[in-house]
Amino acid sequence: IDFEYAQNYDGRFILRFDDTNPEKDILEFYDAQKKDLEWLGITWDECYHTSDHLQKHYELCEQLIAQSDAYVCFCDAEAIKKGRQQKKPCSCSSEPVEVHQERWERLLSSVDEQGIVRLKADMKSLNTAMRDPTLFRVIRKPHPLQEDRFHVWPTYDFAGSVEDSISGVTHPFRTKEYELRDEVYFFLLEKLGLRKPYLMEFARLSIEGMPVSKRKITLLFENGAVTGYDDIRLPTLRGLKKRGIVPEAITRFVFTQGISKVESVVSFGLVEAENRKI
């Protein structure tokens, strides 16, 4: 869908790897996704990794802290959860800016420091996502591309909005599951003084009897329930290819369904029907 929009409106299509969680990022996935997209007939004008821009993200985090719009929190997970449930501001948030600047430096310089950076938003908001969400956290696992260069990583709330803005994206597409986080997206860009893109959202399309969630597919793979990511029982591009589905059939199927905010479950027979026509 993203690619088609770029084509129709003479735009640029960017392939971005949001690789800011070393615990989930695996080296082989980068090339695998490129190959799968090429098989689907998709080309891109630019390709880059969010992890390449980490120093810029650090600078923007320092800007937020200096503005008193973010703070470093050393509370444990249970205390943070309780504070959010009770709509009570974290005691860390009332510390002077200088304290948080010093804490931030400690986080960056020492791999032994624990702590997170939180956005100073609205702890009394009815939208739970706005109750001082986490912007940065410590992850000590080596990154497939950056190796051991970094141990403080941005969350998707921070990296997604910042990258959409600074990379020039005008129309980011994302699934409806992020709807509650839209307020965080725009609030953060407002505080940073960055350009606000036009967000477009759609519901996830589920296929009857097939797992489409990355989490579920990964579990099947790890448990040995499937032979690999190209198992013909999976709706992965490699699984579909091995099953004999051609790229044109997938494209037709997607455009037939269109984009909607209504959750729907369709039969795999619709994909097979398009395949038979071709």
Task: List pLDDT tens digits, range 92-139.
Answer: 999 999 999 999 999 999 888 889 999 999 999 999 999 999 999 999
Residue 239 has pLDDT above 90, yes or no: yes
Confidence of residue 269 (pLDDT cuts 50, 70, 90): very high
Residue 44, classed as helix, strand or coil, is coil
- For the entire predicted model, the pTM comes to 0.92
Q: What is the pLDDT of residue 212?
A: 86
Residue 225 has pLDDT above 90, yes or no: yes
Positive or negative CA dihedral for 252, 260, 50, 22? negative
- Number of other residues whose CB lies within 10 A of the CB of residue 64: 21
Chain mean pLDDT for the chain: 94
Residue 277 has pLDDT above 90, yes or no: yes
Task: Tell me how far apart the alpha carbons of residues 110 and 8 are, in angstroms, rounded to a whole number.
Answer: 49
State pLDDT tens for residues 2-55: 899 999 999 999 999 999 999 999 999 999 999 999 999 999 999 999 999 999
* Token pair for 87: 């709509």
Label the pairing between strands 152-154 and 134-138.
antiparallel
Q: Among 40-54, 98-112, 151-165, 198-212, which stretch is predicted with the lowest mean pLDDT? A: 198-212
Angle between helices 182-192 and 156-166 (to 10 degrees): 60
Residue 203 has pLDDT above 90, yes or no: no
| E strand or H helix at 241 | helix 237-243
- Give the residue among 231, 215, 227, 230 at the shortest CA–CA distance from 24: 215
Residue 150 has pLDDT above 90, yes or no: yes
Angle between helices 156-166 and 54-66 (to 10 degrees): 110
Task: Tell me how far apart the alpha carbons of residues 145 and 143 are, in angstroms, rounded to a whole number.
Answer: 6
DSSP for residue 181? G
* Token pair for 173: 């597409």
